[in-house]
Structure 1
Amino acid sequence: MDIQLLFTAAILGIIEGLTEFLPVSSTGHLIIVGDLLGYTDDTSKVFKIVIQFAAILAVCWDYRERLIKVASGLTTEPASQRFVGMLFVAFLPAAVLGLMFHSTIKSLLFNPLTVATALVVGGFIILYVEKRAYHPRVETVDAMSWGDALKVGFAQALAMIPGTSRSGSTIMGGLIFGLSRKAAAEFSFFLAIPTMFAATVYDLYKNWSLLRLEDVPVFAVGSIASFVAAMWAVKSFIRFISNHTFIVFAWYRIVFGLIVLATWQLDLVSWSEP
């Protein structure tokens, strides 16, 4: 068994779990760190899909009571039907555009330099959003309108560009459209479930031939690390945004992205280029 590969799997799993639900781009971090660690072969593509799914399972577990309540009342409770309907509406833009441009985006944009650029640009967008006058009109997820859900869905579609951040797009979009910080974050978490589940199924279907039995230990280590890290990150994130803005994440994105671009420009690291 390759101990170094298992160590790499654990590192990437922790990074995925910590960043999936923060506005810093988990995919971007996996691309950059995977490139830095030399884990960029065909197996790594499937590995990243699997550990992202593990992070989504952590959210399902954390919000299991709400999800069970919605599922049990789906045929009888108007509130549950409305909640699922809004998630479906918000899911549609990314689903349609993803099917149209998935292959093109993966072949042209999934590289460290594109990610670094998107991190910097996204950081400045967060700073801009935070400097605006903020007067939330929607305090909870249940108070959202169908229009709110659709607008957040279109914001999520921007995250097809690696480095943009799915959670960052949905949360910042939510703030712009009048959601409270908690409502924007929680709706982002719930929207991640159908979005990432669909992306996982689609990517596994496209890369089915790359699955190998000998990779199970690596996938298992990465998945466990991702699940545990995501459980901690979600709880901590909700507590954090109750009393803080997202400015710290903006500066983190900007600094991290500029470091990657600087190491490329100065030829200190041989990053994979477009």
Structure 2
Amino acid sequence: MKKTGLSLALAGALLCMLCACGPAAEGPADTTPAETGLLDLLSGLTAEDIGEVSQFGPNEPPDSTTLAAMLNEAAAHPIDHADLTINGSDTDVVWSLDCYIAPKNQGIYSGADALHLQAGLEENVVEIFGGENLPDGRVHLEDAALYQLLRTSCDQEGFINEYYYEKYRDLVDGYYNGRLEEVRDAGYTAWELTEFLGVLGTTKESGKGAVAFRMGAAFVTDPPELAPHVLAGGAYVDSALRVHGLDWQNVYLVTLDEEPVGLSFGEGVIGFIRDHSGEEVHMEDLQAAMNPSSAG
């Protein structure tokens, strides 16, 4: 009987050792079967699998080849992480991108085929989950390249014509100083000019005429981390946590023969200038195009 008990004890110890070296050593210990399916999808994704890529903001989304390669690489780095939120906290989603795992050029894509990529303020963490037609679960990946792809998705290089900005600085700065006062209570503390560029003009024999200068500015908060929580309308946050789009529409400083006429909002004045290219433009007609509601 003593021999039998010893044999059973040895067998039990051997069984424990075998279990410790078995399937549990494969992959992350905290990965559920549903998450494993999603990781498998990401690691094997090809450009041909992606029908369309879309993202919020002013820039074109990455191409399918680039995105597929980045997802393949990132899928090798899953981490245990709490879900991102949309409740106004520091763990909120700030930047996002969708790609559709469906045939290309099919026109309309269903959310059931969508793969959602989301990122917040925490560096290098990307959350991914899919629609009904994709594997269940939600995974979090630690990958600097994929994170930066999302975080910089709203970055743009603006252009400022310094000569004309200095010429009309009082009007430009006056407008944005006024806008800052309108939004200061929300937490905005300053603005930075990002664009001042003559985008369209008429040309007379003298070389002068009506010109529309497109204006743009980014607004900043104190602290910068407040920015994602004070957005409104179509505003968005760039990688430096500056807010763009507080005007909700394009703003133009309009001049006639290099003398400022005033500010115009929307695209009405652009259409007017385009229609009168090379023609003599009269002040009253230009002002009516800038402020169509007052025309009559």
- Same-fold call, TM cutoff 0.5: no
Bigger share in strand: 2
Query: Taking CA–CA contacts closer than 8 Å with sequence separation of 6 or more, which of the two structures ends up with the larger relative contact order?
Result: 1
TM range (shorter): under 0.3
Bigger share in helix: 1
